[in-house]
Every structure is written in structure tokens, then in C-alpha cells.
Structure 1
Amino acid sequence: MTLLHVGILDDLANDIVAWTKGAARSEEVLPEIASWLTELPVLAAFLGKSDKLIPLGGGRVMGLEVDVPQEVHDYQALLLQGLHLLLDDLGLDNIDDFILSSPALGYRSPRWVPHIAVGKARTRHEPVVEIAPVAIEFGDSRIRNRQALPLPGDSGGVGPPR
């Protein structure tokens, strides 16, 4: 389950540079984002459940909508607040507009729906499907592709540690 999607870091840095009209520079933005990501607190393992399959991504993907404990919603809200602070520190204005318009972030809605993507929809307008309830166990939160983050002091692009 994705708790906060930031996309490809080079693309996010380019979106930030474009939004600030070059006031923020990519070689400064990338290490800031990487540092922020590595300092995020870990959400402990939790249990969820699902009883419906929903369309995602404008109907192109289907996913299990997952009921999660309130602490997961609170953690996700904390991540979004942290993203706001990071973007403010990087000199962005109209941060909500940036978040909803950044191609790297890819958000289409300000509302987070806990889900697990399960595959391509058969048709573009697939309806919600009720399913037999299923319990889902999630491990501790982690950064996907952590090994691709720039090393501290590295002003180059994202890549494997050197």
C-alpha cells in the first residue's frame, strides 16, 4: 500500500524547479527530498480488510479498497503535512495546487483512498465490485527503492549508491 507517492525523484525535482521558475535548483532539491524521505518516521505493522474492488487512475486500474485503522490515516496525514513543509522550505507557493498538478506526484484528488492496486481494468469504466471480505496484513512502512536515493552530499541525479 502506498502511503505517500512522490514519483521519480528527478521528475519531482524538475517539477519543483519549473514551479519555482528556476529559483529552486535541481542539484539542491534532490538532496533535500532524499534527506526528508530518509528521516520519515516508520509506521508499525497493521491489519486491514477489504470487501470491494474499485477503479483507480481514472478507471484504468483496479484496486482493493482497504479499511485501515485510524492511526494509518493519521500517519498519512502526517506525511502530507511533512510534504507541505518540505515544499514550503524549497520555496514553492500554492503548494496544494502544485501537489495536484505535479506529473511526478500524480495526484488526481486531494482525498487519499487506502488501496492495493491489483491490475488493469477490463474496461475503462469498470464499476465497484463487492467481494467476500479479506483480511490483509501490512508490515512496517518503508521507502520503496531506498537504494536509489542520492547519497548525502551527492548533487547528481538519483541512482544507486556509489
Structure 2
Amino acid sequence: MHGLPRITVEVPVLNIGSRPTDYEALGTYVNGLRREQGLHMTLLHIGILPEFVQDIADWTKGRTSTDLATRRTADWLRGLPILAGFSGTAERLISLAGGNVSGLEVQVPDRVHDYQVFLVQALHGLLEELQVDNVDDFILSSPALGFRYPRWVPHVAVGRPKTRSGGSWEIRPLTVDFGPSQIRNGRLLPDADST
């Protein structure tokens, strides 16, 4: 299943800085700088859908089938409200994933934090509907969800740090423009009547 695409709620990066060289200059701090096209900020990670719904079926000891969980999760994702585009500011790079990833930490408007909190609360509601008890424990232990940190840090992963020492690096402030929220790989979700 690891070849299957991950499902996330994210906002695409439209632009970083005021000119192309602003983003390229991050190569001073980062190895393997990712292409600017395709960069995004993840608001909620669902993971590989068959793995997520299997986690639910296992947790509920079969009370909720994978078919039902797949159908409800796909419908839930499609029904989420869209967060309008916004701009933020990045003033430092941070080390993520145990030092394997370098990310732009982005200061975002309050409404973005509010939307991310809404997503987590909505996920709670979905899981309760699917008969998951101890929802917080499930979220923290589900391998598919992969929740590692209790607090969401808005960031855009841009490459690998030059050193694995962790920490953060101050950079020249950059404006980061984001488009409206979207479901990554949403086109691959099963149709409502196909499950």
C-alpha cells in the first residue's frame, strides 16, 4: 500500500518572495531544494486512505467496516469548506522530521489557525460517527494519520537541511502566497456510489 498516494488537506504555494531568486537563495541553507511549483502547506494529514480505514476497522474491532469508513471519509473530505487563499511571512527555516526535512516556518493569519483547529475538530466528529472511542488516543496512535506533535506549526517543506543538528536558521523575511485549500489526490477518492 505504500505506493498509494497520501490524502491531505493542504494549501498550494503560489509564490515565495518578490522575485524567483528569493526562493533560490534558500539553497544556501538547504540541500536538494525542491522545485517551487508543487510546494504546499499541509493543514491535515489523513494518509493513505486504505491504511486509515483499516486503522479504524482495527480500533473498532470490526464494528465499522473498511467499506463504510472509506465511503464516509471520502464524503467528509469532499464536504469540507474551502479556506480562501492568504499570504504569510517566513523569517526562518526550521528542522522537521528528526532533522531530515527543512521547512519555512510561516506566520499565517489567525483564520488559518482557526481553520486548522476546525479540521481537527471535524476529524473528531467523523471518527465518533465511525464508532471510534477514545478519539484522541486513536489520532495519536494511528500509523496512517501519523500525528507526531500536539501543536501544529505552519510550514512549507523545502528540502533537506545541510546539517542534521536540528534547530532553526534566520533568513531574510519572505512573503509566501497561498491558494485556496484543496484535497491532495482528491481525484483518487472513491465516488460516493462506488463503495
Q: TM-score, structure 1 length as denominator?
A: 0.92
Give the alignment partner of residue 70 of structure 1, picking from 82, 93, 110.
Answer: 110
Give the alignment partner of residue 83 of structure 2, picking from 40, 43, 55.
Answer: 43
Give the alignment partner of residue 99 of structure 1, picking from 118, 121, 139.
Answer: 139
- SS of 1:5's equivalent in the other structure is strand
Give the alignment partner of residue 4 of structure 1, picking from 36, 41, 44.
Answer: 44
State the number of aligned residues. Answer: 155
**2:127 counterpart residue number:** 87
Percent identity, aligned pairs only, is 54
**2:184 counterpart residue number:** 144
**1:110 counterpart residue number:** 150
Kindly provide the CA deviation profile for residues 138-162 of structure 1, in whole angstroms up to 9, marking residues without a partner as x: 011111111100001222xxxxxxx
Q: TM-score, structure 2 length as denominator?
A: 0.77
Give the alignment partner of residue 63 of structure 2, picking from 15, 19, 23.
Answer: 23
List runs of 5+ in structure 2 lacking aligned partners. Answer: 1-40
List runs of 5+ in structure 1 lacking aligned partners. Answer: 156-162
Q: What one-letter code is carried by the residue in structure 2 that aligns with 1:102?
A: S
- SS of 1:16's equivalent in the other structure is helix
Q: What one-letter code is carried by the residue in structure 1 that aligns with 2:86?
A: F
Q: What one-letter code is carried by the residue in structure 2 that aligns with 1:154?
A: S
More strand by share: 2
- SS of 1:77's equivalent in the other structure is helix
Is the contact between residue 98 and residue 166 of structure 2 (CA under 8 Å) also seen in structure 1?
A: no
